Structure 1
């Protein structure tokens, strides 16, 4: 019962994407549905014309009369028109349907980008992309099967039964409708029974594809750890489960089709036997038998195929249910677009007031963190690995909601601010840099798509990337590979730095922005940024303390708590955590120079 309710709900949820507000789309759908009814009329007329032809040909005084000639020509024309209209219907229908699918996928894509960071962290990318791809096919299967096959067949069936009742009495109409009703009830419950394994096989197929995508995305790790065999075994295990469930699903559906064929066969026997018997004992002639048999055979083929159609509809509904579950996921609360949301044009200040945050219960990442960053000032954040440094930038971008405390931007609560305006103000070189699988130039240009080439080249020069690009065979047009894997860590960091420089944000966030660079390159880049550091606002998160030593204030995080704060010199005098980190940094620097 729950599955039936879910199917109705899926159709209800998807229908607005079909019947959009665009008048042109609606008109095309109406024209196509009009052609469906014309096609039904022609299909019902063909057996009746054939009846008249047989009646005249079986007459004792048969001859090629004008009326018979018209009937013979009309029969061929009716068949030709029926086929032509069916093709025209397909041609007309495909445009609004594909527009609906495009709108559907666009809205899904938009929604995926509005979901909270936790959603994307908890789900495998392969599951989402595969579900989206399968939903497109599911959309088509449900639409074509339901609106262009099931519903027209039911309408045609009732009209044929009405014609039989009118000409030959209620017996024939009753038999036709009774067999159809038994067929529908059997199909409904039998496919529901069979769909259990179909649902499981669909889910397993999503998991299998997600596992394959995940493995290929981590191709380098598989090579590093020589774990190809492990990945193959894992893949084979997923494929075995998929194979078992798919075989079970298809076998069950074929059993359903066998039952459907049996029901159609019984109907054919009942109607032809009754018609034949009546033809021998009453005023029936051969033409009447031909008409009754014609309608029976006319429905035998579509009813025989209805098992496949219902299977595809079931599968399509399951696939749409998977993607609609994602579509129904609530967007991040930070992405609200209420009229009360404030927009920002420039950055004046950022303040954390007793901010506490935990990714999971009992896993505290930040505890009562407070600091104030004024415009055109620089704050450095240092600390050991896992102390919560990068979390601060994630909270500024509103990727997560804080557990307690307040974050203010320009003295306004960050929750009342438009996320879009915040993201326009902020620019970041993240710790984990991911690049698009396109050219170096396009990856940098992504920060400001309307930038001039000279601006892109200037940003690349400041990031010390020009010499690297000149060595590459395609220079700016070198494709970086999936997630930028064709480049070294240092090259990826320089692209990320160039990207944020091109954006020219109000707040620059450098999260371990130079950790993969050699000290010489880091020094040159920091020197290039010196004028910018004096006129812009910076939040620098670093392990390499040389990048924050000139900051206006340095925060020392330890286990989510700010243990120390001050300038570079004042913190050294305290002989605390920062001084220990600086000492370790100097020793590492001496060792690297000695090497």
Structure 2
């Protein structure tokens, strides 16, 4: 019932279309039911009279039937066209709700779920839901009308024969109920398996350059074949179950006609039924059976839509772990003082990544994080914009706990340049403007100049309109990095996080980018994660993070004199270039 209530709310904006669809279904059903009645009236009255009387009346009957079927034409047109449009609009609303909710979910959700599975929910699941949204109420309503109407007329024609048919119908309903329970589980399994196929495709195609560079096309084909075969087996199970279901109900339909012939013949022999009434009875049994057959065919569609909507609701019911507090305030007039006060953090109650860490960074200062992979450097930075929530302790900006601030104002005050830059498919202008969507052309050019990328862009045939390809495949690593820096220049935050922004670049690119980063860091509180220690010599404080916490901290010269972890890292990088003192 709860699932039904969630489903029905998507009909509310389209109530007029919904009720009109049902009204048109009522008209179609009434006309279909009326034809055998009209034929019966003609057989029992008009056609028993003289020819002149038949000719006189049949013209009016023809006009009446023509008008009825013209009306039926328009009703059927509305059902087929606007009924589908209503379903498409509901699908669009659901897709928007799903996408908007995915945007709100925390990083932890994306750590656990595959993009291919999310794509499956947004595309294929919602298509099946929209088909159910349109055909479900309409098919059920029309079927119930026809079944009820034909049943009443059948009952009036012959009580005994109809009571026997009721018994067969009850057995048929019980059979359908048992089969439906099995089909529901199988169709849900179909959804999971096709999500696995989508995930495999997304994973392989996203890493196609790695696949080809390692000549692993055959391996990827094998992996895809495994997922594809698993889905095929699931589909085979569903169709075998569906086959048994449809064949069983087809048997019951045959049983209906067998009973009509046998019992009807006996009743005629006993003068309890007229042969012409038996013919009419058969006509109404056809009307009675057609909606039952429609409902049987609808079962597959219902199961697909039901399974899809359950998966849809699963996502919507997933609550974002990080949201604004009830009384959250805006972060305004940002100075940039940062404090990590006794901060601890762990992923899913696993081993702690950070343990009781306390660090202060004054406004305008630069703090560098150094240490082995897995020491928690990126996690440390991710806590500041609340990509993850601290397990214990608090992170403060300008003396305010970041949990008391609105996420929008908090993240607007922080700029991030990462090693793995994400470039959106589109042109260079749009990618830079992503830092501030309402930026002017002049501001975009100024940001590009500050990032040392403006001259390169102008050298391209299409300049700022140059298409960069998916994930920026037509750009070098250094060019992508400078576009990312231009984005942050455009955003103009008071706090800056540089996450290994130059570690994967050649020396020439690093020189240009380091100049850009130094310009970007001016008058901003900056946290730098660095593997190239030459880039952080002038940091106000260097913190060495290991899996046991803060191992060392201090300025470059002080840490060299300590001759500890930092010194070892430094001399490993510059052995033969600088003499150890």
Fold equivalence (TM over 0.5): yes
Answering whether residue 96 of structure 2 is matched by residue 94 of structure 1, we say no
**Residue number in structure 1 paired with 2:326:** 339
**Residue number in structure 2 paired with 1:5:** none
**Residue number in structure 1 paired with 2:148:** 158
**1:356-384 CA-partner distances (Å, limit 9, x unpaired):** 22225553322222111232222222223
Q: 1:414 to 1:528 in 2, by over 3 A?
A: closer
Q: 1:439 to 1:272 in 2, by over 3 A?
A: farther
**Residue number in structure 2 paired with 1:237:** 226
Answering whether residue 495 of structure 2 is matched by residue 488 of structure 1, we say no
**1:429-464 CA-partner distances (Å, limit 9, x unpaired):** 123222222222212211111111121122222222
Of the three residues 200, 204, 208, the one matched with 1:215 is: 204
For the aligned residues, what is the CA RMSD? Answer: 2.6
Q: Determine if contact 1:497/1:513 at 8 Å carries over to the other structure.
A: no
In 2, the alpha carbon distance for the partners of 1:230 and 1:224 equals 13
Offset at residue 40 of structure 1 (A)? 2.3
Q: 1:362 to 1:32 in 2, by over 3 A?
A: closer
Q: Secondary structure at the match of 2:352?
A: strand
Q: Determine if contact 2:128/2:304 at 8 Å carries over to the other structure.
A: yes
**Residue number in structure 2 paired with 1:18:** 11
Of the three residues 7, 13, 36, the one matched with 1:47 is: 36
In 2, the alpha carbon distance for the partners of 1:229 and 1:578 equals 45
Offset at residue 326 of structure 1 (A)? 1.8
Q: Determine if contact 2:478/2:510 at 8 Å carries over to the other structure.
A: no
**1:204-245 CA-partner distances (Å, limit 9, x unpaired):** 121122112111111111112221111111111222222222
Unaligned runs of 5+ residues in structure 2 are none
**Residue number in structure 2 paired with 1:74:** 64
Offset at residue 272 of structure 1 (A)? 5.0
Q: 1:316 to 1:369 in 2, by over 3 A?
A: same
Answering whether residue 103 of structure 2 is matched by residue 116 of structure 1, we say no
Offset at residue 57 of structure 1 (A)? 5.9
Q: Determine if contact 2:342/2:393 at 8 Å carries over to the other structure.
A: yes
In 2, the alpha carbon distance for the partners of 1:374 and 1:273 equals 96
**1:367-412 CA-partner distances (Å, limit 9, x unpaired):** 2221112322222222232221111121112122222221112222
Answering whether residue 290 of structure 2 is matched by residue 301 of structure 1, we say yes
In 1, the alpha carbon distance for the partners of 2:278 and 2:350 equals 80
Answering whether residue 131 of structure 2 is matched by residue 141 of structure 1, we say yes
Of the three residues 477, 490, 515, the one matched with 1:527 is: 515
In 2, the alpha carbon distance for the partners of 1:546 and 1:164 equals 92
Q: Determine if contact 1:464/1:525 at 8 Å carries over to the other structure.
A: yes
Q: Which stretch of the first structure deviates more once superposed, 318-327 or 54-63?
A: 54-63
In 1, the alpha carbon distance for the partners of 2:395 and 2:491 equals 24
Answering whether residue 417 of structure 2 is matched by residue 429 of structure 1, we say yes
Of the three residues 293, 304, 318, the one matched with 1:315 is: 304
TM-score by length of 2: 0.92
Of the three residues 192, 195, 198, the one matched with 1:203 is: 192
Q: Determine if contact 2:95/2:126 at 8 Å carries over to the other structure.
A: yes
Q: Determine if contact 2:193/2:231 at 8 Å carries over to the other structure.
A: yes
Q: Determine if contact 2:452/2:513 at 8 Å carries over to the other structure.
A: yes
* Residues 505-524 of structure 1 aligned to structure 2 (within 5 Å): 505-524=493-512
Q: Secondary structure at the match of 1:75?
A: helix
In 2, the alpha carbon distance for the partners of 1:317 and 1:140 equals 11
Q: Which stretch of the first structure deviates more once superposed, 460-469 or 125-134?
A: 460-469
Offset at residue 524 of structure 1 (A)? 3.7
TM-score by length of 1: 0.90
Answering whether residue 490 of structure 2 is matched by residue 502 of structure 1, we say yes
Q: Which stretch of the first structure deviates more once superposed, 270-279 or 392-401?
A: 270-279
Q: Determine if contact 1:53/1:72 at 8 Å carries over to the other structure.
A: no
How many residue pairs get matched? 577
Answering whether residue 431 of structure 2 is matched by residue 443 of structure 1, we say yes
In 1, the alpha carbon distance for the partners of 2:192 and 2:481 equals 38
Q: Secondary structure at the match of 2:575?
A: helix
In 2, the alpha carbon distance for the partners of 1:584 and 1:77 equals 93
**Residue number in structure 1 paired with 2:397:** 409
Q: 1:588 to 1:175 in 2, by over 3 A?
A: farther
Q: Secondary structure at the match of 2:490?
A: helix
* Residues 324-473 of structure 1 aligned to structure 2 (within 5 Å): 324-332=313-321, 334-336=322-324, 338-348=325-335, 349-359=337-347, 361-470=349-458, 472-473=460-461
In 1, the alpha carbon distance for the partners of 2:198 and 2:477 equals 29
* Residues 271-282 of structure 1 aligned to structure 2 (within 5 Å): 271-275=260-264, 278=267, 282=271
Answering whether residue 281 of structure 2 is matched by residue 292 of structure 1, we say yes
In 1, the alpha carbon distance for the partners of 2:326 and 2:506 equals 48
Q: Secondary structure at the match of 1:535?
A: coil
